[in-house]
Structure 1
Amino acid sequence: MKIAQVTPLYEAVPPKLYGGTERVVAHLTDALVDLGHEVTLFASADARTRAKLVPVRDQAIRLDPSPLKSDLAAHMTMLSEVMDRIDDFDVVHFHTDMIQFPMFRKYAGKTLTTLHGRLDMKDLPEVYERFGEYGLVSISDDQRRPLAFANWRATVHHGMPAEQYKFHAKSKGYLAFLGRISPEKRPDRAIEIALKLGKRLKMAAKVDAADKVYYETKIKPLIESSPLIEFIGEIGDHQKSEFLGGAEALLFPIDWPEPFGLVMIEAMACGTPVVAFKCGSTTEVIEDGATGFLVDTMEQAIAAADRAGLLDREAIRARFELRFSAQAMARRYVDVYNDLLAVQPVIAPPVNDVVTPLHEPRSFGNVA
Structure 2
Amino acid sequence: MNILIVLPSVIPAPKYGGTERVVWYLGKELIKLGHTVTYLVNEGSFCDFANLIFLDRSKKISDQIPDDTDIVHFNYMEDDAIDKPSISTMHVNINDDRLLDSNTVFVSKNQAERFGATAFVHNGLDWSDYGKVDLSSRRIYFHFLGNAAWRVKNIKGAIEVIKMTKAEKLKVLGGTRLNFKMGFRLTLSPRIQFYGLVGGDEKNALLRYSKGLVFPVRWNEPFGLAITESLYFGCPVFGTPYGSLPELVHSDVGFLSNQATQLAEAIEDSEAFSKERCHAYALDEFNSKKMAEAYLRKYEQVLNGGKLNAAPPKLVTKQQEKFLPWTI
Q: TM-score, normalised on structure 1? A: 0.77
| Whole-Å separation in 1 of the counterparts to 2:51 and 2:158 | 42
Q: Is the Cα contact below 8 Å between 2:61 and 2:80 reproduced in 1?
A: no
| Whole-Å separation in 1 of the counterparts to 2:169 and 2:215 | 16
Partner of 2:126: 161
| Count of aligned pairs | 303
Pair member with larger Rg: 1
* Alignment partner of 1:142 is 2:110: yes
Displacement after TM superposition at 1:174 (Å): 0.3
Q: Is the Cα contact below 8 Å between 2:157 and 2:216 reproduced in 1?
A: yes
Question: What is the DSSP-based 3-state SS (H/G/I as helix, E as strand, rest coil) of the residue aligned with 1:214?
Answer: coil
Partner of 1:179: 146
| Whole-Å separation in 2 of the counterparts to 1:162 and 1:275 | 22
Q: 1:140 to 1:76 in 2, by over 3 A?
A: farther
Q: Is the Cα contact below 8 Å between 2:173 and 2:203 reproduced in 1?
A: no
| Whole-Å separation in 2 of the counterparts to 1:332 and 1:285 | 17
Q: Is the Cα contact below 8 Å between 1:273 and 1:313 reproduced in 2?
A: yes
* Alignment partner of 1:88 is 2:68: yes
* Alignment partner of 1:282 is 2:282: no
| Whole-Å separation in 1 of the counterparts to 2:37 and 2:227 | 28
1:332 aligned partner, one-letter code: A
Q: 1:2 to 1:296 in 2, by over 3 A?
A: same
| Whole-Å separation in 2 of the counterparts to 1:299 and 1:206 | 23
Partner of 2:174: 205
Question: What is the DSSP-based 3-state SS (H/G/I as helix, E as strand, rest coil) of the residue aligned with 2:14?
Answer: coil
Q: Is the Cα contact below 8 Å between 1:260 and 1:281 reproduced in 2?
A: yes
* Alignment partner of 1:115 is 2:87: no
Greater RCO, CA 8 A, separation 6+ = 2
| Whole-Å separation in 2 of the counterparts to 1:317 and 1:75 | 42
Partner of 1:352: none
Equivalent runs, 1:259-274 vs 2, <5 Å: 259-274=222-237
Equivalent runs, 1:41-120 vs 2, <5 Å: 41-44=39-42, 45-56=44-55, 75=57, 77=59, 79-80=61-62, 82-83=64-65, 85=66, 87-97=67-77, 100-104=78-82, 106-107=83-84, 110-119=85-94
Partner of 1:63: none
* Alignment partner of 1:319 is 2:301: no
Question: What is the DSSP-based 3-state SS (H/G/I as helix, E as strand, rest coil) of the residue aligned with 1:88?
Answer: coil
* Alignment partner of 1:3 is 2:3: yes
Displacement after TM superposition at 1:330 (Å): 0.6
| Whole-Å separation in 1 of the counterparts to 2:260 and 2:215 | 12
Structure 1 unmatched ranges of 5 or more: 57-73, 344-361
Q: Is the Cα contact below 8 Å between 1:8 and 1:22 reproduced in 2?
A: no
2:73 aligned partner, one-letter code: H
Displacement after TM superposition at 1:260 (Å): 0.6
* Alignment partner of 1:37 is 2:28: no
2:92 aligned partner, one-letter code: G
| Whole-Å separation in 2 of the counterparts to 1:304 and 1:163 | 31
Q: 1:243 to 1:78 in 2, by over 3 A?
A: farther
Identical aligned residues as a percent: 28
Q: 1:80 to 1:364 in 2, by over 3 A?
A: closer
Displacement after TM superposition at 1:7 (Å): 0.9
Partner of 1:28: 26
Question: What is the DSSP-based 3-state SS (H/G/I as helix, E as strand, rest coil) of the residue aligned with 2:228?
Answer: helix
1:103 aligned partner, one-letter code: A
1:118 aligned partner, one-letter code: N
| Whole-Å separation in 2 of the counterparts to 1:187 and 1:126 | 31
Q: 1:248 to 1:258 in 2, by over 3 A?
A: same
Displacement after TM superposition at 1:204 (Å): 1.2
Structure 2 unmatched ranges of 5 or more: 311-328
- Deviations along 1:77-135, whole A, 9 cap, x unmatched? 4725533x1x31111100122xx32332x43xx1000001003x23xx2343xxx4x41
Q: Is the Cα contact below 8 Å between 1:277 and 1:294 reproduced in 2?
A: yes
Q: Is the Cα contact below 8 Å between 1:29 and 1:49 reproduced in 2?
A: no
Displacement after TM superposition at 1:363 (Å): 6.5
Partner of 2:11: 13
Structure showing the higher helix proportion among its residues: 1
Q: Is the Cα contact below 8 Å between 1:140 and 1:156 reproduced in 2?
A: yes
Question: What is the DSSP-based 3-state SS (H/G/I as helix, E as strand, rest coil) of the residue aligned with 1:5?
Answer: strand
Q: Is the Cα contact below 8 Å between 1:3 and 1:93 reproduced in 2?
A: yes
Q: Is the Cα contact below 8 Å between 1:185 and 1:254 reproduced in 2?
A: yes
Q: Is the Cα contact below 8 Å between 1:159 and 1:329 reproduced in 2?
A: yes
Displacement after TM superposition at 1:171 (Å): 4.1
